[in-house]
A and B are shown apart, each in its own frame.
Chain A
Amino acid sequence: MESPLISLLKRMIVVLDGATGTELIARGLSAGECPEHWNLLHPERVKEVHRKYYGAGSTIVLSNTFGGSRLKLEPYGLQDHVGEINRAGAMILKEVCPVGCFAGGDIGPTGKLLKPTGDFEPEDFQEIFEEQAFALQDGGVDLIAIETMYDLREAAIALRAALKTGLPVFVTLPFIKKKKGFFTMMGDKPDECFRTLKEDGAAAVGTNCSLDHSQMVEFVESLSKASLSGPFIVKPNAGQPRLEGSTTVYDANPDEYVEAVTKMISAGASMVGGCCGTSPLFISKLAHELKRKEITHAKRTQAEDSDASRDTGRINL
């Protein structure tokens, strides 16, 4: 039997959350301070950010654990607190997650590269991601969201690790625009990425970060039907960053963002949120607009609809 979450993803437009980093900065996080450490030091401030996103209309909000892997915590001397930090991040989120909404455990990249370009072996990464995924599961998340994976190989390892929890797993990658089209920094092509990740068991795939909202419209429009069959995530950045006084601000117009996201939905995206620079305001405007225009159901092709009715057991829970 299909879980409520999977049913939701298959049929509906799902509103996700926006940026966490800038929200924490607005609440006092300083440069050089570990954002994830706030799960232990200032849980009430982190909780407030989550509450604001659910309140704005997000159905799925992600934990403050993007940089919660062993390697990322090392510069702060917190590498032995992976379990504690991720569990706390999950618990804080779950505490404010309303009925009918979902809590997602956020896993970001290690920041290092695999051989031969970098120094790490796949097994090293597998261990690091498993550690984080299990801690998030312990803390009570409903799903795992693997974000900003600029290397398909690392994404696949993270996916494999997270799937060991038995939870549904989302994977999103950032793409860059080159003359020949969109690619990951490592040279992976979007359609190939999505095919691989779906074959490997991702419950939803998509893109976050790197591109701003107008570039991301172009990106979604460039994808194959196969990539867009099934739940597809878009989380664009809100324009470019600027320092105003001592605060980092992103200068995008929320209305432009909303218009762009609506176009992405027309092009086939079905799970929508934002990345760097977005805020509860962006999400609230988006949710409002989707409601106003009655954009509630995912746009799927005829072929995919008939596939879905045959494939209820496809997603491994």
Chain B
Amino acid sequence: MKTHKILYLLLTGVVIFFAGCKDLLEVDTTNTINTDNGVITSIDRANVALIGMYSGMQNANYLGNYSVIWNDLAADNLEHTGTQTVNADIYHNEILTSNSRLLGIWQQMYYVINIANTIITDVEAMDVDADAKNPVLGEAYFVRAYTYHCLNKYWNGVPLQLTPVRKLASEIKKLPRSTKDQVDQQIFIDLDSAINKLEGYAPVNGRANAWAAKAMQARIHLYRGEWQAAYDAANDVIENGPFQLTDKYSQVFDYRVPYSSESIFELDFDDQDGNSYAFWFFERAFGGRREFAPTESLVNAYAYDAVTNPDKRFENNVYYYADEDRYMVTKYNDVSTGSDNVIVTRLAEMYLIRAEAKLNGAVGTAVALDDVNFIRDRAGIDALVGPLTLDDILKERRLEFAFEGLRFDDFQRYQLLSEKPSLTDANQLLWPIPQLEVDVVGLQQNLGY
């Protein structure tokens, strides 16, 4: 019977079809990469992972906003004028261990570190030309070092995760907190690696480079009171680096013409990939939210006078909004698409590092007062006559780097409690370990929390 045969054939066909399909349950994940097939399997892949790493730094919880803004907010440059309690707590220096954004910052920094760890481990193991490997490795080492520096300064000793995590359970160790020194030593090792790998390559806009690693060495040595090392590193960048101060202070922050001559490393933002600095700072009338505004103390510190003290930095950083008789931050100005780049380090910082190191006894030919006055001159204000004091330098740093996320660093290293009434205890100069990490990992909490 004919149909009979056809049917048996059909039935056999069906059985063979399914028996032959090994991939019966395989689904193409298309716009994602399945880690089973390997992720950083080539230098090209490592390069796109680097893009992902920088993109991770752009996150609002990292350089995209809070790790920078909160620095000035916890110190005396920014006032909280908005509605979000997570921000208010930082301004009042009364941080709850359950602050959700605090956790977000911690998580985002480790997210970036995990990408750097993965790139470093996988690329180090690759059998390809040094010329292909080194730039990738150098950038990853730098970003890991810089990210640990950010963690270390806010929390003072954090878990040192240096290997990639690729699986649940097996590789997720509950690492305890390392000491601040141990973290700094790892940072120096990574910075050396970065310099080693990147030296000889010209800096690329928006990407880490060997000079940025040297600048970071200068900063961290300074913070550690290692004056000579700080002096030497800063001096190297000033004397041998390809950077020079811009003619005008405002040129450093012009979002229409980014990457000024004094920028050592700045994180890029563009209109497709913006941040919300200007949105949080601007008055509602200008399309912003005014979540944060300059403190009266900062405005007073500038002591701006159009004739007698025409500080260009005040003109650039702060705007007097006459309608409401108050000030707003104008260092970041692209409120519509948020394309203001965020500066990680720039040449002016090297001058002030060299001056401070020299003042503290480092040996070298540079004159501390000249370095400070060099910065003041560009700002359009009178030179100091000396003798130079530490207070002079700290004040100059405050005015020069306002809203760039460095002020609280100075509070921490010089215990500047008296500068802000809400700071009554040195413990407030460190942030609490997020409660979730205390609960899940068993990390030891900072004192006072």
Q: Do A and B bind each other?
A: no
A interface, CB within 8 angstroms of B: none
